[in-house]
């Protein structure tokens, strides 16, 4: 059965935040002044278990689900994450299973992840310069730890991509080195506009460097860029080619060029709430339903009802939206 929302968009992807914790404190996502030692992360009993995640996926598979992305917080700090991948893989051979990670624990985990049935990994990396990397991530790790992770993933045969958030007056100077590195690795990179997720990252329009501005910088070094057609309905990143190098890469332009019209993504937060938009203020508490003995049929019916009513298009309405909103944090809902 193909389940469509009120704007005709199918439910294809489910992003699952397996933890609200992280070993980084990226300034655009979990700034340390908010996520400090006093911050109350979810207690263990409120975190969705692997069995409960499987129950949600099983309920959504007959509705047309094709892709799962494991995210967070940092998914590789959740204990035995490969077990979850294996449990998902055992449900369906065809399901596309991906993970988004900051990469520093990837090398350690790569063999198990691969054996468990992971298809793809996206590694977030915003700077190749060690000092700037430390400044952005506010962590004890080195940029080399991330590069080791990326290399181990490439060697393992997984499909690998890099994601880079570019913020004005912070890391525009990393655009060129990051592309050069990706060309060198022969993997795609996607540059992401800084988004107004959550309430703690001090977002303002002035700190957004748009995709078009990024392309101007890139063209100065690499010559003409040509826009490609999208590969499939719901593709988030707009694809471009560096003509001289025949190299394809992407831009996720949620601020300057929203893509709500083809948004097929639902999210499960680390406490088991179902969200129909990254910028939602409230989710639907599937975890409580499951803990009150709801069966697969009940969960499937609940998801169907929620998705049928879905009319989110926050990014397209951002400019007109004057109402004071309190969207949930990215680390909790999953990027």
- Residue numbers at the binding site for ligand SF4 (CB under 6 A): 22, 24-26, 29-30, 72-74, 102, 124, 259-260, 263, 265, 277-279, 312-315, 331
For ligand SF4, the closer of residues 22 and 189 by Cβ is 22
Report the residue closest to ligand SAM, judged by CB.
Answer: 335
Give dist(CA 3, CA 277) in Å, integer.
16
Among 11, 18, 29, 110, interactor with ligand SAM by CB under 6 A: 29
For ligand SAM, the closer of residues 194 and 222 by Cβ is 194
Closest CA to 67 of 120, 7, 132: 120
Residue 244 token pair: 């001289």
Can residue 264 be called a binding residue for ligand SAM (CB under 6 A)?
no
How far lies 213's CA from each of 57, 183, 256, in Å?
39, 21, 10
Can residue 237 be called a binding residue for ligand SAM (CB under 6 A)?
no
How far lies 143's CA from each of 136, 139, 170, 191, in Å?
11, 10, 16, 18
Q: Which does 30 bind (CB under 5 to 8 A by kind): ligand SAM, ligand SF4, none?
A: ligand SF4
Strand order in the sheet with 225-227: 225-227, 238-242, 247-252, 189-193, 159-166, 120-124, 96-101, 67-71, 13-17, 265-268, 273-275, 284-285
Cα Dmax for the chain: 59
Other residues' Cβ atoms within 10 Å of the Cβ of residue 37: 5
- In the complex, the smallest distance separating the C-beta of residue 103 from ligand SF4, rounded to whole angstroms, is 9
By rule CB under 6 A, what string of x and - marks binding of each residue 105-124 to ligand SAM?
-------------------x
- In the complex, the smallest distance separating the C-beta of residue 3 from ligand SAM, rounded to whole angstroms, is 25
Can residue 266 be called a binding residue for ligand SAM (CB under 6 A)?
no
- In the complex, the smallest distance separating the C-beta of residue 236 from ligand SF4, rounded to whole angstroms, is 8
- In the complex, the smallest distance separating the C-beta of residue 185 from ligand SF4, rounded to whole angstroms, is 20
Residue keyed to tokens 């204990």: 79
By rule CB under 6 A, what string of x and - marks binding of each residue 122-141 to ligand SAM?
--x-----------------
Residue 257 token pair: 């060029």
Give dist(CA 285, CA 127) in Å, integer.
37
Q: Which does 278 bind (CB under 5 to 8 A by kind): ligand SF4, ligand SAM, none?
A: ligand SF4
Chain positions 140 to 199 lying near ligand SAM, rule: CB under 6 A, are 163, 165, 192, 194-195, 197
3-state secondary structure of 83: helix
Residue keyed to tokens 């471009």: 240
By rule CB under 6 A, what string of x and - marks binding of each residue 282-301 to ligand SAM?
--------------------
Distance of CA 23 to the CA centre of its chain: 16
For ligand SF4, the closer of residues 251 and 259 by Cβ is 259
Q: Which stretch binds ligand SAM (CB under 6 A): 97-105, 109-117, 297-305, 313-321?
A: 97-105
Question: Taken in order 174, 177, 180, 182, is the CA torsion positive or negative?
Answer: negative
Contact set with ligand SAM (CB under 6 A): 22, 28-29, 71-72, 74, 100-102, 124, 163, 165, 192, 194-195, 197, 201, 330-331, 335
């Amino acid at each position: 059965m193909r389940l469509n929302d009120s704007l005709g968009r199918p439910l294809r992807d489910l992003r699952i935040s397996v933890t609200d914790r992280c070993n980084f404190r990226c300034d655009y996502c979990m700034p340390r002044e908010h996520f400090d030692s006093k911050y109350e992360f979810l207690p263990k009993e409120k975190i969705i278990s692997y069995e409960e995640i499987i129950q949600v996926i099983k309920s959504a598979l007959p509705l047309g689900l094709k892709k799962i992305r494991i995210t967070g917080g940092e998914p590789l700090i959740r204990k035995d994450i490969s077990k979850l991948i294996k449990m998902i893989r055992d449900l369906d051979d065809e399901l596309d299973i991906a993970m988004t990670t900051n990469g520093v624990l990837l090398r350690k985990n790569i063999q198990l992840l691969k054996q468990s049935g992971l298809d793809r990994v996206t590694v977030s990396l915003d700077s190749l310069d060690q000092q700037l990397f430390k400044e952005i991530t506010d962590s004890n790790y080195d940029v080399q730890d991330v590069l080791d992770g990326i290399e181990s993933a490439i060697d393992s045969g997984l499909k690998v991509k890099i994601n880079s958030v570019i913020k004005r007056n912070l890391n525009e100077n990393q655009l060129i080195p990051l592309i050069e590195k990706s060309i060198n690795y022969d993997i795609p990179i996607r540059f992401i506009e800084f988004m107004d997720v959550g309430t703690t990252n001090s977002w303002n329009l002035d700190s957004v460097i748009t995709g078009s501005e990024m392309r101007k910088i890139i063209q100065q070094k690499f010559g003409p860029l040509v826009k490609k057609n999208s590969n499939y309905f719901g593709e988030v990143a707009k694809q471009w080619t560096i003509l001289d190098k025949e190299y394809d890469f992407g831009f996720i332009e949620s601020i300057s060029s929203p893509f709500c019209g083809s948004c097929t993504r639902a999210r499960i937060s680390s406490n088991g709430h179902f969200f129909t938009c990254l910028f939602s203020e409230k989710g639907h508490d599937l975890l409580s339903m499951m803990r009150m003995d709801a069966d697969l049929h009940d969960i499937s019916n609940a998801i169907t009802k929620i998705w049928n009513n879905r009319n989110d298009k926050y990014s397209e309405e951002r400019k007109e939206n004057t109402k004071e909103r309190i969207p949930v944090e990215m680390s909790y809902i999953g990027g």
